[in-house]
Amino acid sequence: MKDIAEILKWYALSGVESISADEPYNAINKEALSAEVEKPVNAAELRPATTLLAQESEAARINAKDRCKNAVTLQELKEIMEHFDGCSLKFSANSTVFGDGNPHAEIMLIGEAPGADEDRYGKPFVGRSGQLLEKMLNSVGLKREDCYITNVLPWRPPGNRTPTDGEKAVCLPFLLKQIELINPKIIFLLGASAANAVLGNSDSISSMRGKMLEVNLDNGIKIQALASFHPAYLLRNAEQKAKSWSDLLRLQRYMRKE
């Protein structure tokens, strides 16, 4: 039987707030309601606490977490990810998009998932979003090679659809292990989806921007973080670039203090 704490953690990661019944509830049909109240409960008929899909995803997450424990280098972690079959996204993607950049970087940037260009070349942020990201970094005196860049998901969702909570939960152990191995001074979270996954919350990007955040790792290490807009969002909403600029200046000030 699965550990109760692990199951509850899965519920939290998946955003589960309640469990519905198998049949729709008809509040108007008082006769049926009365019959249900008087009907003795058969334990064998109770609905399982988790769906089969949720159970499989949770098992895959635990499997990923267990495998990550054996990695002591980024190369070992990459090989573990490439041989991991617990996420269905892998089977529709062309490549496993691992992190890229300086393995000793003080700044780590995390986005949501690879896009078409990233899936084609096997590197994160190489498309239009990546080009804008490099310009953003250059504007505050940073270069791409100064940083370590990765995503919550190493595989592209079909058609660039939004990843499910289950997919993010399964892939999160790989990301957290990357953070542990890089051990940056600060993490720059690009977009609400990435920030929510890493921080374990459901806050909006507007509520997370402008303040220091904290990423807590399983080994007890706490790393400072800042959240900002994803470059892909800025390409569609140029009027938000001024806010992103202020986030970059905050990142610059933090690094200069260090």
Domains held by the chain: number: 1
Neighbours of 16 (CB within 10 A): 14
Q: Is the pLDDT of residue 213 over 70?
A: yes
**Has residue 200 been placed in a domain?**
yes
**Would you report the helix, strand and coil content of the chain in percent, each value rounded to 5?**
50, 10, 40
- Report pTM: 0.79
**Has residue 2 been placed in a domain?**
no
**Has residue 44 been placed in a domain?**
no
**Has residue 165 been placed in a domain?**
yes
Q: Is the pLDDT of residue 41 over 50?
A: no
Q: What is the pLDDT of residue 100?
A: 97
**Has residue 36 been placed in a domain?**
no
Domain that holds residue 59: 52-257
Determine what percent of the chain is predicted with pLDDT higher than 70.
Answer: 79
**Has residue 46 been placed in a domain?**
no
Computed over every residue of the chain, the mean pLDDT equals 86
Mean pLDDT of 14-23: 55
Q: Which long-range contacts (CB under 8 A, 24 or more apart) does 78-84 make?
A: 80/174, 81/154, 81/174, 84/174
**Has residue 37 been placed in a domain?**
no
Neighbours of 170 (CB within 10 A): 28
| H-state helical runs in the chain | 4-14, 30-38, 52-68, 74-82, 116-121, 128-138, 165-182, 192-199, 205-208, 231-236, 241-257
**Has residue 19 been placed in a domain?**
no
CATH of the domain at 210: 3.40.470.10
pLDDT tens digits for 178-211? 999 999 999 999 999 999 999 999 999 999 999 9
Whether the CB-CB separation of 90 and 155 falls below 8 Å is answered with yes
